[in-house]
Structure 1
Amino acid sequence: MMLDAGSCLRDWQPEWVFVSHSHDDHLKGLPYICTKEGGVTVYCPEDMTELIEKYVYHQFCTNSGKVLDLKKMKWKLVGLKGGDTFDFGKHNLHVKVFQCFHSIPCLGFGFSEKRKRLRPALQGSPPAHLAALRKAGQALQEDWYKPLFVYLGDTHTDVFEKNPDLFTYPTIIVECTFLEDDPALISRARDNGHVHWNLLKPIILTHPDITFVLIHFSLRYQEKEIILFFEKESQKEKIKNIVIFAGEGSLERT
């Protein structure tokens, strides 16, 4: 499984790619992935399926210098929208789709594990009673979904207000494009559908039981700047539930 396709690994072929949106830094590895022999299923915003198909085709043609027969492409493109749910893969995985708030159609993906459990009405029942019900042919178990993590595409922090069930996931992977306390950057984040640390920090502080993995920092910041910024913030605010994904110097506070 691959979350977005801003790059690709030549010695690894994912079976599924979840594309949050079609900006190039989230998509440019897809043409290579989709033209490999193994085949792949690509999930993306339904409003962008036609454009993504054309992007993959034309990128492959211009990069390879030859015309590709679309019928020979071993990939399946599946359009999704916020609120969709589905099972996938071979390990009882379940996906819930969240609508993000960006400059173009964008999605987030919540992953859960499908399990069985005793029906709530039967919990605490004596073994003899359960045995009698089972003998009578009554179903004792029900499906339930254990939340694993959620991956959010580019978005403003409004995504949390609009989707409170995001907080049922123990790990949230979310962008944090802008860092410094600058009103112009806060406004820019809202206008362009990005996250500013000033708006994300209160959410993190009020959910200490959730681990937030922060990604997608603006290129205006060097890796060392990002790490130093969060080292200071973590000490000042006593933040212990963040992981900073910013290269080899990534910082973990758990």
Structure 2
Amino acid sequence: MLTQVEAGPYTIKGVSVGGVYTSLCVPELDALFDVGIAPRSFVGLDHLFISHGHADHIGALPALMGVRGLSRKGSPKTFLPAPIVDDVREALAALSRIQRYELQPELIGVRPGELHEVHGDLHARVFKTYHPVPSVGYQLLRRVRKLRSAFRGLPGPEIARLRAAGDDIFEWHERLELAYATDTLIDVVDHVPSLLTSRVLVLECTFLDERKERAEARSRCHIHLDEILERADAFQNEQLVLMHFSQIYSPGEVRAILQRRCPPHLLERIVAFAPARGPWPG
């Protein structure tokens, strides 16, 4: 049932069918993006990033929490748009009453522009996406402290002396590892250009050809392949993972259309998040 692809140093595993369900995990980052389904293999991941409140992206949150409870794990650390936190908490409280089992969520409301610590040197920068409901995307990055160039080459004792004296000899460097943007207009990459230089960019591409025109895609706040092709030279990512394809295309059609329409320099970096064979899951 689950699709698995390799993108740069990362394994991305899960399901994504536009309007049906989306849930992707990246084990190397201990990260789960959206929770439209809750497979057993996702239970061990402790950090959940929710893009918005539509059911195909959040509907299986109670199931995930319930299965984690069976495994004696607490709630995952759950990042989600701040405007929906109270509603999600209320919904989980109602379900707790229905099932006579308390779900105790760890909900962290986020807003565009914020930087949140995830674990260790891994952080999540939140950015605005463009959908009819409160929605965000996430850019995971590693923040490492390095010696300022002016102090490089100094002997160890001198560096120790400067540190003891309180001199500011270090600066922060960021490595943009993986970004996730779904259910959004293409405008997101224009307004957040750093997405184009993330090592891996996971980006929705709901519609692929003339069966749905660009204008219709935009009216639904989704991305059409035409809009990606217009920006083909802008994508500097090591891998561009396209996902959230509409079920009007079979997985085989998705690959054939990408093969036919994408220029070679972009195609060689595209990973289609779709089953390698057969129909969509479910």
CA distance 1:239–1:113, change in 2 (3 Å): same
Deviation of residue 178 (structure 1)? 0.5
- Does residue 1:50 correspond to 2:81, yes or no? no
Alpha carbons of structure 1 residues 219 and 60: separation in structure 2 relative to 1, 3 Å: farther
Overall identity of the aligned pairs, in %:
23
2:197 aligned with 1:171: no
* Structure 1 partner of 2:139: 110
Determine if the alignment matches structure 1 residue 149 to structure 2 residue 185.
Answer: no
**Aligned 1:233-248 pairs, distance under 5 A:** 233-234=261-262, 239-248=267-276
1:113 deviates by: 1.3
Structure 2 counterpart of 1:175, which letter? E
Extract unaligned runs of 5+ from structure 1: none
Deviation at 1:121, TM superposition (A): 3.2
Larger-gyration structure (1/2): 1
The answer for the alignment partner of 2:246 in structure 1 is 218
The Cα RMSD (Å) is 2.4
Asked if 1:66 corresponds to 2:99, the answer is yes
Unaligned runs of 5+ in 2: 1-30
Q: CA deviation at 1:238?
A: 6.1
How far apart, CA to CA, are the structure 2 residues paired with 1:149 and 1:238?
18
Question: Which residue does 2:53 correspond to in 1?
Answer: 22
Q: Distance in 1 between matches of 2:266 and 2:46?
A: 40
Residue aligned with 2:62, SS: helix
- Does the Cα contact within 8 Å between 1:212 and 1:242 map onto a contact in 2? yes
Once the two structures are superposed, what CA deviation does each residue of 1:161-212 show, in whole Å capped at 9, x if it has no partner? 1112222312110000001136x62112111210000001222333244421
Residue 80 (1) aligns with residue 113 (2): no
1:127 equivalent to 2:154? Answer yes
TM normalised by structure 2 equals 0.76
Larger RCO of the pair (alpha carbons < 8 Å, separation 6+)? 2
Instruction: Return closer, same or farther for 1:60/1:177 CA change in 2, 3 Å cut-off.
Output: farther
- Residue 5 (str. 1) matches residue 5 (str. 2): no
Q: CA deviation at 1:29?
A: 1.6
For residues 177 and 236 of structure 1, the distance between their equivalents in structure 2, rounded to whole angstroms, comes to 21
Q: Following TM superposition, by how much is the alpha carbon of 1:225 offset from its aligned partner in structure 2, in angstroms?
A: 0.9
Provide closer, same or farther for how the CA distance between residues 118 and 44 of structure 1 changes in structure 2, counting only shifts above 3 A: same
Using structure 1 for the length normalisation, give the TM-score: 0.84
CA distance in 1, matches of 2:106, 2:262: 43
Distance of 2:177 and 2:237 partners within structure 1: 13
Matched, 1:202 2:230: yes
Separation (CA, whole Å) in 2 of partners of 1:178 and 1:23: 19
Is the contact between residue 198 and residue 237 of structure 2 (CA under 8 Å) also seen in structure 1?
no
Q: Which amino acid aligns with 1:132?
A: E
